């Protein structure tokens, strides 16, 4: 039983919320607020928000229009599901909507809303944005890590090749893609690999725990957590969410601080993002603090791992459900690249059909279906409706990408639609305006090269005649609810001539077992080092 103090506190909070709710409702009566569904006192529409949230919001838009309003407790939320309204939001109202709402996830994952993802618009955010776009994710910096990315993608291809060189083998793609993207980002950030035979076991265990935390936080972190809008729930923490986020922050902070401390002396920093940021500290020690660096790293890990791996998984799933598209992509690669060499990053932009496949995947399965929430710093108008100050604005990119007024046959997977000039400009998978994701270039490079190599080097089939299940799971990054399992077979001319040396392949093929890992050899992965072409003679018939 609750103590009298707790009971009185709860009653007082309810009264305060009720007064706030009534005062706000009276104010809104004199404004042209967007229409929306009826709501309850105190909780507003929170009880109607079912997962996946972007589906629920889409259903509301079909009834109330492309611009409508909800109440998250006493907070006003405007949901935008129209491409034209989005353009108005982030041209005319770009500065007004450049803020972020204060959420628990921003407090704990964003170091008290000071990271580039959660920081309010202002001088601090502008400095963070400059650091991110110039010092961390500029074209030159991304180019510096080209060989690192290629190496991790090649390790994925080589492991699949060792698994499937004899014929079709069943593989689950989700963990393979997740490990590849996580290793890639961690090498860029700290020069460390966390999965694979060349890793220390303690590093592997540490990484798995951290990876699990990231996946869970991406899954539950969003803009519809009731505790963000009803302080009483944050205080009482009935579902344990507040405690969970706090614990996550402590573990994450310790992990990230360990990376910084390890590279602080400069001996191991090398050409890493942390090393570069630490070198900038020498001239601006008051700005390049540990919390700032940790905030940047965490945003990179959250935004740069799940989104890329999930996009590749969605793309492969779509190709398996549309074998004619897969064959057309394979023919394009055969025509322009052939079988004597592998696709390289510069080749991807010269393969228009592959680019169209990626664009169509971004359209149907955007990595962040609701983008990151915006928050109005002043009164503004959207589509003729009044949007008061301190309103959360959610952009339903998933719904916009499936709008029949914007796309023909919007629910079908048709890469050919992007042959029409200007169609790609309708996509908003990375956001719009000054707070658009600065990592779009890195994502395109990772997804493009990985998908191109998977198509070039392997044959792919579904496990049976049934189509791949495309049901969406819950989370910020919209994973598949059923991870992709598929039949994979190495294409022998490519695998033999390009990927493996003859003796190495024979040795590894005789000792490698998919479930138990390598036996009697040091590593199942062939690393293509400098000067190692990996070209061998014909081995398999």
Please state the residue numbers annotated as binding site for heme.
437
Higher pLDDT, 479 or 227: 479
Higher pLDDT, 522 or 314: 314
Instruction: Give the pLDDT confidence of 213-235 residue by residue, as tens digits.
Output: 777 666 656 555 777 777 666 66
For residue 407, what pLDDT is reported?
Answer: 97
**How confident is residue 502, by pLDDT bands cut at 50, 70 and 90?**
very low
Higher pLDDT, 222 or 187: 187
Token output for 209: 């725990």
- Range of 13-22, 136-145, 462-471, 492-501 with top mean pLDDT: 462-471
C-alpha to C-alpha distance for 382 and 86, rounded to whole angstroms: 9
pLDDT of residue 520 exceeding 50, the answer is: no
Q: Which has the minimum average pLDDT: 140-154, 278-292, 389-403, 501-515?
A: 501-515
For residue 18, what pLDDT is reported?
Answer: 61
pLDDT of residue 522 exceeding 70, the answer is: no
Average pLDDT across the chain, whole number? 84
Token output for 398: 């998933």
The structural domains of the chain, with segments of one domain joined by +, span 129-372+399-518
**How confident is residue 268, by pLDDT bands cut at 50, 70 and 90?**
low
C-alpha to C-alpha distance for 475 and 223, rounded to whole angstroms: 11
For residue 201, what pLDDT is reported?
Answer: 54
pLDDT of residue 484 exceeding 80, the answer is: yes
For residue 375, what pLDDT is reported?
Answer: 97
C-alpha to C-alpha distance for 31 and 38, rounded to whole angstroms: 17
DSSP state of 420: S
Select from 540, 326, 308 the least CA-distant residue to 445.
Answer: 308
Token output for 73: 């407790």
Token output for 230: 């009803």
pLDDT of residue 369 exceeding 90, the answer is: yes
For residue 191, what pLDDT is reported?
Answer: 87
For residue 329, what pLDDT is reported?
Answer: 98
By the 8 A CB rule, do 415 and 354 touch? no
Please state the residue numbers annotated as binding site.
437
* Predicted model pTM: 0.87
By the 8 A CB rule, do 176 and 156 touch? yes
**How confident is residue 241, by pLDDT bands cut at 50, 70 and 90?**
confident
Higher pLDDT, 244 or 458: 458
For residue 222, what pLDDT is reported?
Answer: 58
Q: Which has the minimum average pLDDT: 273-282, 375-384, 465-474?
A: 273-282
Q: Strand ranges (DSSP E) for 279-415? A: 374-375, 380-382, 385-387, 392-395
Peptide bond connecting 52 to the previous residue in cis, omega within 30 degrees of 0: yes
Report the first-to-last Cα separation within the chain, whole angstroms: 75
For residue 245, what pLDDT is reported?
Answer: 81
Instruction: Give the pLDDT confidence of 105-125 residue by residue, as tens digits.
Output: 888 888 999 999 999 999 999
Domain 129-372+399-518 falls in which CATH fold?
Answer: Cytochrome p450 (1.10.630)
For residue 57, what pLDDT is reported?
Answer: 96
User: How many percent of the chain have pLDDT more than 70?
Assistant: 80
Token output for 164: 């499937």
Higher pLDDT, 207 or 338: 338
pLDDT of residue 208 exceeding 60, the answer is: yes
- Range of 43-57, 312-326, 473-487 with top mean pLDDT: 312-326
Nearest 5°: CA angle at 268, between 266 and 274? 70
Higher pLDDT, 322 or 474: 322
**How confident is residue 500, by pLDDT bands cut at 50, 70 and 90?**
low
């Amino acid at each position: 039983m609750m103590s009298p103090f707790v009971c009185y506190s709860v009653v007082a909070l309810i009264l305060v919320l009720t007064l706030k709710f009534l005062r706000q409702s009276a104010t809104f009566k004199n404004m042209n607020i967007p229409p929306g569904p009826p709501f309850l006192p105190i909780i507003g529409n929170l009880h109607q928000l079912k997962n996946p949230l972007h589906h629920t919001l889409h259903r509301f838009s079909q009834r109330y229009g492309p611009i409508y309003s909800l109440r998250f407790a006493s907070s006003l939320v405007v949901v935008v599901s129209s491409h034209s309204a989005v353009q108005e939001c982030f041209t005319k109202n770009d500065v007004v909507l450049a803020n972020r709402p204060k959420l628990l996830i921003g407090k704990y994952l964003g170091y008290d809303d000071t990271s580039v993802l959660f920081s309010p618009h202002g001088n601090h955010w502008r400095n963070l944005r400059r650091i991110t776009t110039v010092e961390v994710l500029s074209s030159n910096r991304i180019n510096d890590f080209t060989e690192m990315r290629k190496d991790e993608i090649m390790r994925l291809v080589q492991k699949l090749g060792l698994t499937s060189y004899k014929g079709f083998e069943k593989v689950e793609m989700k963990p393979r893609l997740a490990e590849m993207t996580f290793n890639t980002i961690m090498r860029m950030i700290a020069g460390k690999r966390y999965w694979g035979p060349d890793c220390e076991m303690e590093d592997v265990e540490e990484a798995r725990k951290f990876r699990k935390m990231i996946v869970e936080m991406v899954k539950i972190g969003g803009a519809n957590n009731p505790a963000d809008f009803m302080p009483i729930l944050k205080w009482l923490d009935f579902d344990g969410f507040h405690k969970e986020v706090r614990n996550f922050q402590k573990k994450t902070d310790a992990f990230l601080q360990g990376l910084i401390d390890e590279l602080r002396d400069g001996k191991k920093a090398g050409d890493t993002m942390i090393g570069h940021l630490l070198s900038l500290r020498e001239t601006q020690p008051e700005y390049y603090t540990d919390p700032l660096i940790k905030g940047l790293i965490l945003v990179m890990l959250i935004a740069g791992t799940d989104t890329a791996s999930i996009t590749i998984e969605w793309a492969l799933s779509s190709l398996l459900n549309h074998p004619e598209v897969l064959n057309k992509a394979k023919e394009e690669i055969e025509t322009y690249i052939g079988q004597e060499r592998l696709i390289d990053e510069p080749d991807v932009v010269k393969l228009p059909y592959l680019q169209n496949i990626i664009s169509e995947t971004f359209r149907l399965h955007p990595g962040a279906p609701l983008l990151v929430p915006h928050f109005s710093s002043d009164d503004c108008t959207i589509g003729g409706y009044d949007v008061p100050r301190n309103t959360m604005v959610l952009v339903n990119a998933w719904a916009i990408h499936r709008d029949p007024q914007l796309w023909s046959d919007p629910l079908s997977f048709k890469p050919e639609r992007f042959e029409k000039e200007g169609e790609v400009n309708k996509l908003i998978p990375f956001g719009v305006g000054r707070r658009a994701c600065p990592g779009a270039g890195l994502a395109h490079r990772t997804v493009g090269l990985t998908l191109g190599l998977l198509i070039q080097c392997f044959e792919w089939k579904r496990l049976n005649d049934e189509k791949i299940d495309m049901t969406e799971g819950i989370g910020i990054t919209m994973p598949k609810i059923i991870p992709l399992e598929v039949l994979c077979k190495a294409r022998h001319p490519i695998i033999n001539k390009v990927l493996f040396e003859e003796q190495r392949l024979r040795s590894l093929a005789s000792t490698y077992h998919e479930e138990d890992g390598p036996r009697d050899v040091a590593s199942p992965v062939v690393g293509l080092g400098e000067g190692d072409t990996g070209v061998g003679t014909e081995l398999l018939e």
